[in-house]
Amino acid sequence: MERFNNTFPHPNGFVLVGFSEWPRLEMVLFVAVSAFYIMTLLGNSAIIFLSRLHPRLHTPMYFFLANLSFLDLCYTTSTVPQMLVNIQSHQRNISYTGCIAQLFIFLGLGSTECILLSVMAFDRYVAICQPLHYTVIMHSRLCQQMAAVAWGTGFSNSLVQTVLTFLLPRCGQYRVENFFCEVPAMLQLSCVDTWTNEVEMYAAVVIIKVIPVGLILFSYINIVRAVVGIQSPEGRKKAFNTCGSHLL
């Protein structure tokens, strides 16, 4: 029997379908994703080590950049290795516990990244618009607190959405139409109305994504205004270079 109560998940957990119906496409995807994953590991690891080892890089900008690099390492590692294994294997299962952990970590890191990028935009805003007060405002304690708020908010949102998602009955549905476990794909497995979950998810999107994007735009509008007011071409170039790492 394939249909069973939500309390008793499929013996093998869930099946991550992915692109199993297009095997040729999967091989191309395997090579491309492997290459980008290796580049991600090397690039972000280099940023973390350099920012820690080089004394001149012990600044708020590189503190947040190292946080972002560490986050990206974990973010990609939470899904990509599993995806690469599944592409090369006929067994595309993920355990029930593994699916919960993957969704929680992936969503938590993604939410944290959105908030952290807005924090980095604020750091650049202070550096360019309030240069004389930069070291006073962006002291190490404040940087640590802002980073902690970003991580705490991101994983609090993930915890709420993960619990609400896995409380839904699935009535025996276990085929996840994706490479990994995520909220929209898991909601599709539910056999009840998911309106409440969708409302909560969209509310979280506003808080976690829309508001940070608004803060980033606000910061850069003021940054552009400040840079335009600089008379020296070298000064304007230096100001834009200050924002280069965050813009990238």
Q: What is the residue extent of each domain of the chain?
A: 14-247
3-state DSSP of 12-47? CCEEECCCCCCHHHHHHHHHHHHHHHHHHHHHHHHH
The pLDDT score that the predictor gives to residue 10 is: 57
List the structure tokens of 96.
């029930």
- Does residue 4 carry a pLDDT above 60? no
The pLDDT score that the predictor gives to residue 12 is: 61
Separation of alpha carbons 88 and 98, rounded Å: 19
Separation of alpha carbons 123 and 105, rounded Å: 26
pTM (predicted TM-score): 0.87
- Does residue 218 carry a pLDDT above 80? yes
The pLDDT score that the predictor gives to residue 7 is: 40
Confidence of residue 6 (pLDDT cuts 50, 70, 90): very low
pLDDT digits (tens, 9 = 90+) for 117-168: 999 999 999 988 888 899 999 999 999 999 999 999 999 999 999 999 999 9
The pLDDT score that the predictor gives to residue 60 is: 92
pLDDT, mean of residues 98-121:
95
Separation of alpha carbons 118 and 104, rounded Å: 22
The pLDDT score that the predictor gives to residue 81 is: 93
List the structure tokens of 36.
């980008």
pLDDT digits (tens, 9 = 90+) for 12-64: 689 888 776 777 787 888 899 999 999 999 999 999 999 888 888 889 999 99
Q: At CB < 8 A and 24+ separation, what contacts does 225-231 make?
A: 226/128, 226/129, 227/128
**CATH 1.20.1070.10 fits domain 14-247:** yes
90-119 burial by CB neighbour count: b if 16+ within 10 A, else e?
eebbbebeebbebbbbbbbbbbbbbbbbbb
SS3 94: strand
pLDDT, mean of residues 54-80:
92
- Does residue 189 carry a pLDDT above 70? yes
Pairing of strands 93-94, 14-16: antiparallel
Give the closest residue to 242 by CA, choosing from 131, 112, 145: 131
